[in-house]
Amino acid sequence: MPTSSTARPTVPPTVWLARGRHTGSTPDTVLRHTLHWLKAGQEIDDFLELPAAETAPDLVFECRTRVGDEVVVRARLILAPDTAEGRDWTLVAEAEQPWEQTWPSPAGMFWPAEPDAAWNSDPVTGVRPGRINPLPEDDKAVRRLLRDCARDPWHIHVVVHEAMTTDERGRVPLARWLPPGLRDRVVEHRATPQQSRVANWALREFGVEVPRGGAVVLPGSPAPEGYGADAFAVRAVYLDGTEPADLVDAVTRFDALPRALPDGAGDVLTSLREDWRLLTTAEELARQRALVTMYAEALEAMTKSRDLYREAAESAHEALAAYREQAGVPEPAQPSASRAASPFQQLTRTLERLKPGPRPQRAEPEEPSAEHR
């Protein structure tokens, strides 16, 4: 099983992260339509699309809303350029206090809530959070898929083994029972009764195992501190339409573990915090006041530097005057007021004058003329 890494920064408790791929057409149009609709219905406070010329080749959308007891949430979604597979997106949201799983998913601030929406597909594996994903029939494909999922730091992957072929009651996705803040980040994989051996063969390198008729939460890479395979394995999951309470508990406990920031998430989080554009009037006023304070401090520092320079120049001038007095060097003529040089220039020129130059040649005595002999 991969060991946890303490060197990498962890996801702050106030932050919610997700990524995905929109496999349909015109996802930017879908985003704009959804944001306008949510604002008109007062489900979000406001939104902003940053100028494309500043964010190219990506598109960047910002949104602000309130959850729980009037807790402000700011969210930023970055939509990557179009590819043959679709358009990848990354979403980071931060609340004013530690994130609670009962709060709505920030993905709902940007994307429509239709169950068949094309926006929520994993860019690496193509699996879909919030629904049942049957394992491939080919054994090698199962191994490739679960290897990628076991290393995925963005989603929470759960493998459920069906002890027997399920009926309609057992086809209820795990997401139905999860807190709202987890539904868009949890991927449920289903292994058929005959796939128990191949699933565990694929997961052997990660030190985890799916109990027959049970489930396991995969570790991710790096595995979060406090993860243990036995602690996140569920011995029995009854797929009869009732709530799988033990599995829900395992998933929510896993989400509470400190997780390392996925690659690329740190830059997105920094841009949310330092380049946020969707400001309220009060926030804009506070930012302008902060700028005024910063400029005032910079001006004060420049003034202090100027005063220190002036004092140093005056001290050097006094030292030079004392040197002249001891050496008997005459005081140079003062420059006219119209072409007055700075103290530093005066000091440089004076030192140039005092440099020892080549000695003048001594004149040879003249021979006396004949009439003076």
CA 172 – CA 337 distance, rounded (Å): 91
| Same domain assignment for residues 169 and 312 | no
pLDDT computed for residue 350 by the predictor? 57
pLDDT at 280: 84
Domain interval for residue 68: 15-274
Residues in Cβ contact with 265 at an 8 Å cutoff, skipping those fewer than 6 apart: 11, 17, 90, 92
Same-domain pairing of 132 and 155: yes
In a domain, 307, yes or no: yes
For the chain, give the percent of residues with pLDDT over 70. 85
Residues 171 and 300 in one domain: no
Alpha-carbon gap, residue 351 to 354, rounded angstroms = 5
Cα distance between residue 190 and residue 185, in whole Å: 16
Cβ(174)–Cβ(241) below 8 Å? no
42-46, 52-56, 325-329: which range is least confident on average?
325-329
Least confident of 198-202, 213-217, 318-322: 318-322
Contact 283, 69 (CB under 8 A): no
> For a pLDDT cut of 90, what percent of the chain falls above it?
67
Q: What is the pLDDT of residues 202-256, one digit of tens each?
A: 999 899 999 999 999 999 888 999 999 999 999 999 999 999 999 999 999 999 9
In this prediction, residues 43-57 reach a mean pLDDT of: 96
pLDDT for 287 equals 65
Residues 53 and 103 in one domain: yes
241 lies in the same domain as 106: yes
Task: Identify whether residues 241 and 303 lie together within a single domain.
Answer: no
111 and 250 share a domain?
A: yes
Q: What is the pLDDT of residues 328-363, one digit of tens each?
A: 767 666 655 445 555 556 655 655 555 555 544 444
User: For residue 14, what pLDDT is reported?
Assistant: 97
**180 shares a domain with 221:** yes
Q: Decide which of 240, 274, 308 is a domain's last residue.
A: 274
Q: How far is CA 99 from CA 219, 247, 262, 299, in A?
A: 21, 21, 18, 40
Confidence of residue 297 (pLDDT cuts 50, 70, 90): confident
Are the beta carbons of 105 and 26 closer than 8 angstroms?
A: no
In a domain, 210, yes or no: yes
The answer to whether residue 54 scores a pLDDT higher than 70 is yes
Residues 159 and 287 in one domain: no
Say whether both 300 and 239 belong to one domain: no
Same-domain status, 203 and 305 = no
Quick one: 163 and 108 in the same domain?
A: yes
Element (H, E) at 53: helix 52-55
Domain total in the chain: 2
pLDDT reported for residue 370: 47
- Of the residues 218, 249, 274, which one is the last residue of a structural domain? 274
Last residue of a domain, one of 274, 306, 330: 274
Confidence band (pLDDT; 50, 70, 90) for 148?
A: very high
